[in-house]
Amino acid sequence: MSCKISNEELTVTYDKIEKAKRKRQIRRKGSKLDNINVQRFELVLKKNKIEKFLGTNSLDLLNDAQLIDYLESRLHSTINVYIKLIEESSAKTKKVIQDVYNKYGPKSYIKELLNQVNNHSLRFLSPLVLDEEIIALSNIAPFKNKGRTKRTIIDSFQNSEKKYFEKNETGLMITWHVRDIFKLFYESLEVAKEKGLGCHKDAKSTHTFKHVLKDYSLDYRNKILNKTIRSNTRNQKNKIRNHVLKEFPDVDLDINKK
């Protein structure tokens, strides 16, 4: 899967295990790697733009520091895009909540909200409300007790999970998983700064690093969401940006504030 960032850059993601099977480097069936999913993520630069981003197009002149600086700059800009997506989802969610409340009244608006959220996902194959944290962060109107209203809406999204142990898509916590991956990228760059780029393998070790997607329980989510609601009831400037950036150790991200 490829995604164009600009006329100069694109990203490519593919399954390394599947590629190795196609090339017959590992067995199609009966391999010890059958239950392992290895995704390779690449940043691709156009040949004539390498010098612009890295300072040189000669491999002999490139060093780890230049490559790490470039990767950090891409990580910073990607986090900015991530924040904008959360802000956009929050703004759309706020508008939909206000519209259904005005049209259907206090007794029926939540049911209609759930219908619109589900219909949006089916129609556009993308969520209107990225996850439950969007509700917690949104400056919803026209409610006087915004905190209680947010908790009531989130509780309604969680009904199927409470009754049937089946998560609504908003309970999957997409934004939290993406945040975890960003943190993993940061950790990898810190290792690269210390040991250099590349794969550092201990010949005596049999340990394989695995990044496991977390299954956030109801209790865990609600504990975090309640804390977010208590600190995000008012419409503060840069509220969402500040909420996201506090999760990252890199102060340089503040430079990107707009």
Burial class (CB in 10 A: 0-12, 13-18, 19+), 13: exposed
Q: What angle do CA 143, 145, 147 make, to 5 degrees?
A: 110
Looking at residue 236, its pLDDT comes to 65
Identify whether the C-beta of residue 233 lies closer than 8 Å to the C-beta of residue 146.
Answer: yes
Q: Please state the separation of Cα 141 from the chain's center in Å.
A: 26
Looking at residue 235, its pLDDT comes to 60
| CA terminus-to-terminus distance, the chain | 31
- Residue 33: which of 21, 43, 46 has the closest Cα? 21
Cα 78 to Cα 11, 38, 82, 108, 211, distances in angstroms: 12, 22, 6, 39, 20
Identify whether the C-beta of residue 56 lies closer than 8 Å to the C-beta of residue 34.
Answer: no
d(CA 174, CA 157): 15
Looking at residue 257, its pLDDT comes to 46
pLDDT tens-digit map of 146-169: 999 999 999 999 999 999 888 989
Residue that is written with structure tokens 């496991």 in the block: 212
At 38, is the secondary structure helix, strand, or coil? coil
pLDDT one digit per residue (tens) for the chain, 258 residues: 778 777 888 888 888 888 888 888 888 887 777 777 788 888 888 888 888 888 888 888 889 999 999 999 989 988 999 999 999 999 999 999 999 999 999 999 999 999 999 999 999 989 999 999 999 999 887 788 899 999 999 999 999 999 988 898 999 999 999 999 999 888 889 989 998 887 766 666 666 667 788 899 999 999 999 999 998 656 666 888 888 888 775 555 554 444
Identify whether the C-beta of residue 170 lies closer than 8 Å to the C-beta of residue 132.
Answer: yes
- Residue 228: which of 141, 115, 99, 139 has the closest Cα? 139
Contacts made by residues 13-20, CB under 8 angstroms, sequence distance 24+: 13/39, 13/40, 13/41, 13/42, 14/39, 14/40, 15/39, 15/40, 16/40
Q: Which residues, 6+ apart, have CB-to-CB distance to 10 below 8 Å?
A: 2, 3, 4, 43, 44
d(CA 209, CA 14): 19
